Structure 1
Amino acid sequence: MSYGPQPGYPQQPNYGPPPGYPGHGYGPPQRYGPPSTALAYVSALLFLICGILALVIAIVGWDGTTDNVDLLVALVGLAFSDDLTGNIDFAVAATMTVACSTLTFALALFARLDFLRWLLAFVGGVVTVYYVYAIIKTLADGGGEFIAMIIVSFLLWAAATVVVLLPATGRAMRGYQRKLGQYPPQQMGYPY
């Protein structure tokens, strides 16, 4: 029920922007315009770094006779090699597979294909979980002085996996379709 203006005071005009413009109403501010594609490229770059690091680790530990034990223990699958084959050939093959697959998918991710995002998230998740196991096993076996490269690899793979799974990265992919009504219609000026 409206009582109208108070006696002696004229009717006040409506101040502020009209509905549909920023600053009107309640709730969080809305974002206007298309989403940024930066996170798609950042996630591709992070996975490129992970793939290159895995490739370097596999090449250095190729025959198992390297003097750099830090890189040798960072081979993907080395924690399981005693149980499976008894030598490091399994770990070298697993690391080369992870490295080459990651490099291929990461280079193709620069085209912002959404299904590659999920493939990289799967590979990154599996490798991240492996490195958690490798850190625990290495520390339990008393190899604390050789754990530095395992931790660096874990941090890189975990960061790349988290970035590729962010919702903003999903919006940055080419297949992202904006929801109807997400952006207000484009109008020029205020309709007064």
Structure 2
Amino acid sequence: MHPNQGWPPQQPPPPNWAPRPSVAPAFLAGGLWLLVSVLCFVLAGLNSEDGKGIRQTPQAAVALLGLAFGRGVVGNGDAAIVATYVAGGVVLLFAALLLARLGFARWILAGLGFLVSIYYVFAVIRLTINHGGTFIIVPGVALMLWLAASMVSVIPPVGQAMR
């Protein structure tokens, strides 16, 4: 008996046919950016309760955006708390756009992420030079999270998932 008896012969797919790319990389990148946003809100929230400012949790305060520039630039630390809140809000907005698979959002997030990663490298180096070895942990974790989210955002599978 012939194997195709009763069934039409199967045709190969057209030569330019390709399976649709997975959307999982876009959701992975969006999830990492949501973690970055949560980190920003937690860091800023820990240091803005009860009016104590950055004296409340000094180990977490060193990870606030801008605090490594010194008292002459930042003042009492309120500007760093606000900058961290604003960065968390901007990241949350563009992470939602990334999860909606709008391609421009990943490039804006990647640019912001690499810029903040450079700041955290500066903060870790400054803490190391000033003998603040016990304070490096939180900025180091923040650096790794910002850098990981930025790097995942620019890989080609994330770009293919945006289509």
Task: Say what the alpha-carbon RMSD is for the aligned residues.
Answer: 1.9
Match of 2:75 among 77, 86, 91: 86
Structure 2 gap segments, 5+ residues each: 1-11
CA distance in 2, matches of 1:80, 1:69: 15
Query: Paired residue for 2:20?
Result: 34
Larger Rg: 1
Query: Paired residue for 2:110?
Result: 121
Alignment-mate amino acid for residue 51 of structure 1: S
CA distance in 2, matches of 1:48, 1:81: 29
The one-character-per-residue Cα deviations of 1:91-138 (angstroms, maximum 9, x if unpaired) are: 111111111100111122111000111111111111111111100001
CA contact (8 A) 1:41 1:110 kept: yes
CA distance in 2, matches of 1:69, 1:49: 22
Bigger helix share: 2
**Runs (4+) of structure 1 moved beyond 2 Å?**
none
Query: Paired residue for 1:171?
Result: 160
Q: With the length of structure 2 as denominator, give the TM-score of the two structures.
A: 0.84
CA contact (8 A) 2:94 2:105 kept: yes
Structure 1 gap segments, 5+ residues each: 1-17, 22-30, 175-192
Between the aligned residues of both structures, percent identity stands at 39
Query: Paired residue for 1:110?
Result: 99
Query: Paired residue for 2:39?
Result: 53
What SS does the aligned partner of 2:28 have? helix
CA distance in 1, matches of 2:123, 2:63: 8
Query: Paired residue for 1:65?
Result: 55
Question: Per-residue deviation at 1:81?
Answer: 4.1
CA contact (8 A) 2:74 2:80 kept: no
CA contact (8 A) 1:81 1:91 kept: no
CA contact (8 A) 1:81 1:87 kept: no
